[in-house]
Structure 1
Amino acid sequence: MKLRVSAALFGLGILLLVLAVGLPLYVAPAVTKLPYDLEPMTSVAEAKNARFLQITAEAETVTIEVPRADLRSTIEVVPQPGLTKDELPKALRGDAVIWDVYQTVRRTDNDRDITAYSTQLALYRVSGTAAPWEDQWLKQDDSDGTPLGNVEYSGLTYKFPFGAEKKDYPLFDRDLKKTFPVAFVGTETVEGIEVYRYEQQIEEQELYTPEESLQTLLGAFAPEATTGKVIYRNTRTYWVDPVTGIWIDARDQPRKELRPDIGPTTVLLDADFNYTEDTISSTVESVKKNRLQISLVRLWAPIAAAVLGLIALAVGLWLFFSAGGAAGRHSAGASVAGGPAATKVDQDPS
């Protein structure tokens, strides 16, 4: 019986040690990738007393103005597992996922939309960077009628890599449709989680504006001008969980100005968007859940499996030697007991 239990414990110990080695090597990589069945995510940011361009068409009257009001920006990320499976080219299958992303910016006082866009793109599952997918697209409905059209995404878009590092990354800017560095600037704590803070500074750049849209703006704000340009700049700040690469908090400070060749400069957009408290709290809960899953697979489960495996091996070996020693003592005792009895029987009765 002891030998059977010993063999079972020995086998269990080997299995647990194999599991301890296999979890970080084979299972951990799977939990540090964007899953195909990721639940849709929503983030909300608000800008207080923002200045923005609003074009209102009622009947035959078109009103172009730059009012002030509080704005709310809502971004919805909707993963597309079906498209990921069927539409990605062979070279990207297994390494990338397809996301649909929708953003709407609206006034909070009258709930009127100011701008909206939708896009479909492919992201690498580990790095979070945009994958080179030919079918990506971007559609925008601005109040000034400026379309962004098709796009070639590159760099980071909606998340940082799993295992983010203290270094600069290329981050895509949707208005200019190219990447600019987002620099690591320090470590902070948000609701008990240590995060990396990154900042992207985009200095003044001329924003492509179709001639028809430009003339509409000039007619409203600089009627004596013959030409002009729209200048854009932005400062973005991200508080990123380095384990999962998720933005726990974010700040976006865009500014756009119309600069005519004749006449004063007109501010078309000046806003300071910050994640709402509800968005931060929801993101923190998601990060804690994902961190726990990753740490279990990477560290605690392998440690537990290794410790239990060593205990099982030790107990199994002890039982094996214990069973072997008892059998040896029993055999020796039987030989000694049988010696005198045999001698007595063999004695001559006379």
Structure 2
Amino acid sequence: MAERSGPSRILACILVGLGAFLLAVAILIPTYTVGKLEKTPLDLEVTTIAEGSGSVLNSQALLAGKAEVNTNVPLVSQRYVTTEDPANADVVTLQAGQTLRRTDKQGDTGLLSAIVDRNTVDRQTSMPTNDPVGTIQTQPNQPAEEVPRDGLQYKFPFNAEQKSYPYFDLSARATQDINFVEETEINGLKVYHYNQTIEPVDLSKVVNSPTNKLTLPAEAWGVPGGTLPVTMTRWYTNVRDLWVEPETGVVVKGQEQLHQYYARNKARPEIDVLKVELPFNEETIEYQVQQARDGMDKISTFGRTVPIIAGILGLIALIAGIILGLRGGKGPQPARTTGGGVPPAEGGRHYEGSDAPTEQHDWTTDKTEEIPVADPRRYDQR
């Protein structure tokens, strides 16, 4: 029996070591692996589409000398976000190509604006690093302009909170707080609703473009004054609503109420350039919900499921190893013998080894004491 304790001790050691390893894995995975998962992917590729209808200034008519506004124009805003260099373990550069077009016209005649935005951000907080400085390109035949920024864009940080965040507006080229409104649900998914209201911004002070401050005869503007020149400034306002899945920071739904207009006083719009409400369409919302769920599943798997399973298995292996080790150390002891099985001699003397007598004894010649037999007649019942 003593020979069996060796393998038992080896197995016990293996179980204890395995249990300790699994317990260490259960502790380290949430702190190490989850931190790796809570980062913007280096292969991000997201398309969002927002649709609506509104008022649009007819640019061709304006060039001809008459401010004409088309109403109930179908509009589509499309944004395509990808990643590019510089990108590493800590930062990633997001490139967003965004277009706004009216779908009642074909080709370039329906294109109202096109912007290419590049911005390098921290992969976990989604805040810009300004290393390198972000750029904005509005004309295909002109170089991009460097525009530093200090607010979120396109994505919120992981584990977003119910608070205000700085958010960069591309048209105003300025950062303003976007405020937490409420916790709600979209397609069964918990989301945080944020809102940002941008008061009128003088676009002529943002971008040096001749169309941002324009002088035309009063009659061309459709205001009193005949042929007298009237100078109007182009203004921009927006009400932005975002619904964010807090664990991943994915923007599940977005909506903007855009208004650009010409006016001599920002408080009194005179000619609409663009006035429209553009929410994400249903296909985009469903896609973004699935993106958020996929991210949540990965974080949950490595942050909770795997550590729990590893912890339970590690504890079982550790306990089994300890019990097996203790039982193996208390194996049965060999029985003590009296000189190789030789019976003790008369008088209580015990012979061991070479002291044992070698003469053989013939037990058949011994006389045994006769045991009297009871007389059966004593039990006669008669």
1:258 and 2:276 are equivalent in the alignment: no
Q: Which position in structure 2 is the counterpart of 1:66?
A: 69
Deviations 1:84-114 (A, max 9, x none): 25xxxxxxx5321111110011122234211
Deviation at 1:287, TM superposition (A): 0.8
- For the 8 Å contact 1:128–1:159, the answer to whether it is kept is yes
* Deviating 4+ runs (over 4 angstroms): 60-64, 214-217
CA distance in 2, matches of 1:149, 1:64: 30
Q: Which position in structure 2 is the counterpart of 1:212?
A: 210
**Unmatched 5+ residue regions in structure 2?**
1-6, 344-350, 360-382
Work out which of the residue numbers 117, 132, 149 in structure 2 matches 1:119: 117
CA distance in 1, matches of 2:235, 2:181: 27
- Corresponding letter in the other structure for 2:100: V
Deviation at 1:9, TM superposition (A): 1.4
Q: Which position in structure 2 is the counterpart of 1:105?
A: 100
- For the 8 Å contact 2:214–2:231, the answer to whether it is kept is no
Q: Which position in structure 2 is the counterpart of 1:19?
A: 25
- Corresponding letter in the other structure for 2:48: S
1:199 and 2:195 are equivalent in the alignment: yes
Q: Which position in structure 1 is the counterpart of 2:86?
A: 84
- Corresponding letter in the other structure for 2:326: F
Higher helix share: 1
Structure 2 CA distance for partners of 1:62 and 1:299, relative to 1, 3 Å: farther
Specify the SS of the correspondent of 1:162: coil
Q: Which position in structure 1 is the counterpart of 2:305?
A: 300
Q: Which position in structure 2 is the counterpart of 1:90?
A: none
Q: Which position in structure 2 is the counterpart of 1:161?
A: 157
- For the 8 Å contact 1:225–1:260, the answer to whether it is kept is no
- For the 8 Å contact 2:67–2:271, the answer to whether it is kept is no
Q: State the identity as a percent.
A: 28
Specify the SS of the correspondent of 2:59: strand
Deviation at 1:185, TM superposition (A): 0.7
CA distance in 1, matches of 2:40, 2:9: 47
Structure 2 CA distance for partners of 1:98 and 1:255, relative to 1, 3 Å: same
CA distance in 2, matches of 1:136, 1:284: 28
Structure 2 CA distance for partners of 1:140 and 1:217, relative to 1, 3 Å: farther
Specify the SS of the correspondent of 2:243: strand
Q: Which position in structure 1 is the counterpart of 2:373?
A: none
- For the 8 Å contact 1:115–1:141, the answer to whether it is kept is no
Deviation at 1:165, TM superposition (A): 0.4
Specify the SS of the correspondent of 1:272: strand
Provide the aligned length of Structure 1 versus Structure 2.
Answer: 328
Structure 2 CA distance for partners of 1:2 and 1:65, relative to 1, 3 Å: farther
- Corresponding letter in the other structure for 1:341: G
Give the TM-score taking structure 2 as reference length. Answer: 0.79
Deviation at 1:286, TM superposition (A): 1.0
Q: Which position in structure 2 is the counterpart of 1:140?
A: 138
Structure 2 CA distance for partners of 1:63 and 1:335, relative to 1, 3 Å: farther
Give the TM-score taking structure 1 as reference length. Answer: 0.85
- For the 8 Å contact 2:133–2:147, the answer to whether it is kept is no
Structure (1 or 2) with the larger CA radius of gyration: 2
1:240 and 2:244 are equivalent in the alignment: yes
Structure 2 CA distance for partners of 1:214 and 1:13, relative to 1, 3 Å: closer
CA distance in 1, matches of 2:215, 2:55: 16
Work out which of the residue numbers 10, 16, 28 in structure 2 matches 1:10: 16
- Corresponding letter in the other structure for 1:66: V
Structure 2 CA distance for partners of 1:152 and 1:301, relative to 1, 3 Å: same
Structure 2 CA distance for partners of 1:105 and 1:63, relative to 1, 3 Å: farther
Bigger mean CA offset, 273-282 vs 113-122: 113-122
CA distance in 2, matches of 1:293, 1:4: 37
Work out which of the residue numbers 271, 274, 277 in structure 2 matches 1:269: 274
Specify the SS of the correspondent of 1:84: coil
Specify the SS of the correspondent of 1:153: coil
Q: Which position in structure 1 is the counterpart of 2:348?
A: none
CA distance in 2, matches of 1:211, 1:292: 47
Structure 2 CA distance for partners of 1:70 and 1:205, relative to 1, 3 Å: same
Deviation at 1:204, TM superposition (A): 2.2
- Corresponding letter in the other structure for 1:315: A
- For the 8 Å contact 1:23–1:298, the answer to whether it is kept is yes
CA distance in 2, matches of 1:229, 1:131: 33
Deviation at 1:217, TM superposition (A): 6.4
Deviation at 1:215, TM superposition (A): 5.5
Structure 2 CA distance for partners of 1:63 and 1:42, relative to 1, 3 Å: farther
Specify the SS of the correspondent of 1:226: strand
Q: Which position in structure 2 is the counterpart of 1:230?
A: 234
